[in-house]
Structure 1
């Protein structure tokens, strides 16, 4: 038997685990999936959770049922890549022959006060905590830091769901700056319609319990601050001796194996994956294909075959603007904007399709019916 250990059961890790179980079933693969929570978290929808929407609960043991995968609940405390062992909080030790590292990233809390006073989307519980905080406010100000897709989606969702609150979006540049001019104009109009107060050119230097401090400006009052300005890899990877980049992501080769420890595969946000256009940035659109490819590479290696190189190109930037509006920017493979975009109801339907529950697709994946290229076209941000 070959013991295959998958760390992390988000979109990417769950995909990798199911694919690896299916692809190595005849070659003696035994897959164990480790996750801190028993719940499958739809991270793409955490802004809806923060706004107070109750989403469907998917127990992970049911998600992987019928695959032969052994699910273990536990938070990883230590990774020993020389001994090929993972220690969980509480002391349980799991050995492996092959490891798939899919623990994602966490909020970059380098700005003073972020860890203590800001909310983030590092897990489902943090989004629930933000919703619970907002439930206590009859009036007040919510500050959303970061004008990327996550920040814009959150500001729009909160403004629509909680119109009695003032929502302020703070960003260094223009919201949705990666989109084309027409899509950005539509985005700006939507934020204005929802009453979101946008302040561009703002660099936050400190987060306080009831305010944020911009560089060279007066304090901005905040009853709740949501931090979406960037992420970085867990310290666990570098501490284990795996080669990592400046953001703490594991550097991998074309087969998605660690360049320093080839028995370790890294996928999704946790991996620094180089393509012709540069290093991929963290999205579900790109992450799920890495999970599929890593599982295929691992299976090929066990069969004595040479893994194929990973190739990927971006396709779209889906952005919800509350429950009733959206804008979709179609892109070139390097994620630069094309001329085409969708808006309004058509964009809402598109966004809900690509960001819908992956459970139906996982059912097909268990049966070996979903090729890797499908995910690059259908996976959302």
Structure 2
């Protein structure tokens, strides 16, 4: 019986927002109550944080506006504790919120706790407010012809370094990475990426590990000191300790361990999506990204709706199909992939890649709007043979 069933969604990022809106549409005649909990009233486009860091003004999307017409209740506040036995959440340390089904969508953030000085002296792209303060600092540094270090050569670090170098031609940008930037791409896409970074005047420190962030420099493992009037930290991620603290089964990083239907292996009334979930396919564990996160949200909304109506649920299947990377506002590279994220020969570069990347970045908001009226299917591959194999334990 679904009437009065209460679903609470923790986190209003890309996955939490999609889970709530799609589930509301799927259960609109079933008497299901849905509550979305998030500390901020603003919906954050994490895919565009590097644009804010470069001083660009982005649209301000209010969560209440995105939920308008769905029937979803928005509670602004931070979840501070979960009691899975009582099925109760504590919000802002005081307000209790009961649930019948919980969607855990708290995502991840950049981890500055593993390297001395990173938390004190480095900026992150964890929120629009932090990115905005970083943008103000970078404007000062660039005007003085100063130096920026971007620590971490993953996609976030690459996009941020390119965006900042393009926006501030007088800025000396150094990208520091333990691996070659673009290592996951094919040779031709990677070569294009490096040509663009070189054209933008970005210095690469490849195979380098930062051991300490100082107020005006970063120290590398080989003893070298690199000048840094501002440091952007993009290396490593962490998740909320909320699940582990509640004795919900997690891996050693704090991600909720899930079964084949993305339900907690210890508490099946809890569904985990996006970066907060340890999701395994036959080819390995999904890494945190919007590309894999939105399909987990779509699947979970559909799964909850099916379970409430007594229907069977098939296992979750997902395969990657691209690696989109913006390189400033006027260039980009898109590497297409197999289901397991390994590259294939097809790629896009230049203007066509810019248009493709912009579509990808803007697609979540379009999906939310249309999902209020219909069951919108995200751009997702089930991965073919690669996901038919059972996940390794």
**What is the CA distance between 1:216 and its match in structure 2?**
1.9
2:139 maps to 135
Correspondent of 2:128 among 124, 128, 137 = 124
1:145–1:171: 8 Å Cα contact kept in structure 2? yes
Deviations along 1:95-134, one digit per CA (max 9) or x if unpaired, are 1111101110122221222222211122222211211211
In the alignment, what sits opposite 1:91? Answer: 94
Please point out which of 4, 13, 29 is paired with 2:7: 4
Q: CA deviation at 1:26?
A: 2.4
Partner Cα distance (1:11, 1:376) in 2: 20
Equivalent residue, structure 2, for 1:194: 200
Cα offset, 1:369, TM superposition: 3.5
Residues of 2 paired with 1:340 and 1:374: CA distance? Answer: 18
Asked whether the 8 Å contact 1:285–1:375 carries over to 2, the reply is: no
Deviation at 1:374? 5.2
Equivalent position of 1:169 in the other structure = 175
Q: Given that residues 26 and 302 in structure 2 are in contact (C-alpha distance below 8 angstroms), is that contact kept between their aligned partners in structure 1?
A: yes
Asked whether 1:114 is paired with 2:118, we answer yes
Aligned match for 2:28, one of 25, 29, 34: 25
Give unpaired runs (5+ residues) of structure 1. none
> TM-score normalised to the size of structure 1?
0.96
Select the residue among 215, 218, 223 that pairs with 1:217: 223
Task: For residue 136 of structure 1, give the secondary structure of its aligned residue in structure 2.
Answer: helix
**CA-to-partner distance for each residue in 1:126-176, whole Å, 9 max, x for gaps?**
211211211222321111011111110000000000112111000011111
Q: Which runs of 5+ in 2 are unaligned?
A: 384-393
- TM-score, reference length from structure 2: 0.93
* TM-align CA RMSD: 1.5
Q: Distance in 1 between matches of 2:181 and 2:250?
A: 30
Matched, 1:66 2:69: yes
How big is the shift at 1:28?
Answer: 2.1
Q: Deviations over 1:314-352 (max 9, x none)?
A: 010000110000000000000000011111111111111
Deviations 1:259-302 (A, max 9, x none): 11111111001111011111000110100010011111111111
Distance in 2 (alpha carbons) for counterparts of 1:59 and 1:153: 25
* Contact 2:13–2:44 under 8 Å retained in 1: yes
Aligned match of 1:343: 349
In the TM superposition, what is the alpha-carbon distance from 1:357 to its structure 2 partner? 5.1
Q: Distance in 1 between matches of 2:311 and 2:120?
A: 49
**SS of equivalent residue, structure 1 residue 79:** strand
* Displacement after TM superposition at 1:85 (Å): 1.3
* Cα distance in 2 for residues equivalent to 1:240 and 1:221: 43
- The aligned counterpart of 1:158 is 164
What is the count of residue pairs matched by the alignment?
377
Q: Aligned partners of 2:110 and 2:86: how far apart in 1?
A: 30
